[in-house]
Amino acid sequence: MLRSLFIGLTCALVGCSHAASELVVYSARNEQYIKPLFDAYTKETGTQIKFITDKEGVLMQRIKAEGVNTPADMLMTVDAGNLWEAAKEDLLRPIVSPALHANIPAPLRDPAGEWFGLSVRARTIFYNTQKVKPTDLSTYEDLGDAKWKGRLCLRTSKKVYNQSLVAMLIAEHGEAKTEQIVKSWIANLATDVFPDDTKMLEAIAAGQCDVGIANTYYYGRLMAKSPSMPVGIFWANQNANGVHVNVSGAGITKHAKHAAEAQKLLEWLSSPKAQNLYADVDMEFPANPNVKPSATVASWGAFKSNPLNVAKAGELQASAVKLMDRVGYK
């Protein structure tokens, strides 16, 4: 009893790091993508992981409402815009980790160290292989050229993926030029915008439009179901700054009860042993450059990615949303 009292007093004075028998993760990634990872981690370390899945906005509001009493040790979500928002709302804590800095390239992590990308998705150009030649294609900006009049399909501006793309264009070109680019896209639309990338890719295959912009994993899922669909992938802006990439990733919550253990999990997720488990299940690219993508993803070919830090997708998201509203991008 005296020993327990001594330890308790010592912890109160200097702080102690308690090993977690259970970590709690709030995840905007669906269960089928994260459960195999967490099962593997539990098998390797003995640490149990309880996870709660929901939309990113709901999870962030929940962490904010729970405050210091939140059970969440980690927030896992998709898109750098969402990760940036979580940091801006003071929901995450800075992490000092040589392992994470070694495993995750600087453009794929928060400059302040509050979140780290764990998988990469490219938002690039797709085309109908029966109606368009790859040599016809070049850049995102070129999709506003008159030759694509009545031939372009886009997903709605209401989803974060296109907001992030436009934010990155603002970072690259400035607001005035980006407004001209997006306005030229709207002028070339073949039909109303689509609620999701899958429906847009299906419209390209059906000949409703000839070209469009989507995340790579939607293409992978679709081709896995219907490999004969006449849709091809084209890496945008390869002779310019490179294709727009984004991440899914995670950070440790500000009031995590098991921050040290949560950091171990995050470091493990960035390691070669976990990266394929994390990325391959949803046909994404590993964020760790030392890990090769799955054979399916690798078959799409190598590409140059834009070197801008993906945090810009969050920093300029409000400007992107206002810009898209101004030009009538619904």
Q: What is the per-residue pLDDT for 20?
A: 58
4 pLDDT band (50/70/90 cuts)? very low
Query: Taking 90 as the threshold, does the pLDDT of residue 5 lie above it?
Result: no
Rg (CA), the chain: 21
- CB-based contacts of 99, cutoff 8 Å, min separation 6: 267, 270, 271
Beta 116-128 vs 231-234: how paired, if at all? antiparallel
Closest listed residue to residue 246, CA positions, set 94, 81, 95: 81
Half-sphere exposure for 299 (CA within 13 Å, toward CB): 10
Do 93 and 256 meet the contact criterion of CB atoms below 8 Å apart?
yes
Average pLDDT over residues 277-295: 95
Gap between the Cα atoms of 209 and 198, Å rounded: 14
Domains and CATH numbers, the chain: 21-120+246-297 (3.40.190.10), 121-244+310-326 (3.40.190.10)
301 pLDDT band (50/70/90 cuts)? very high
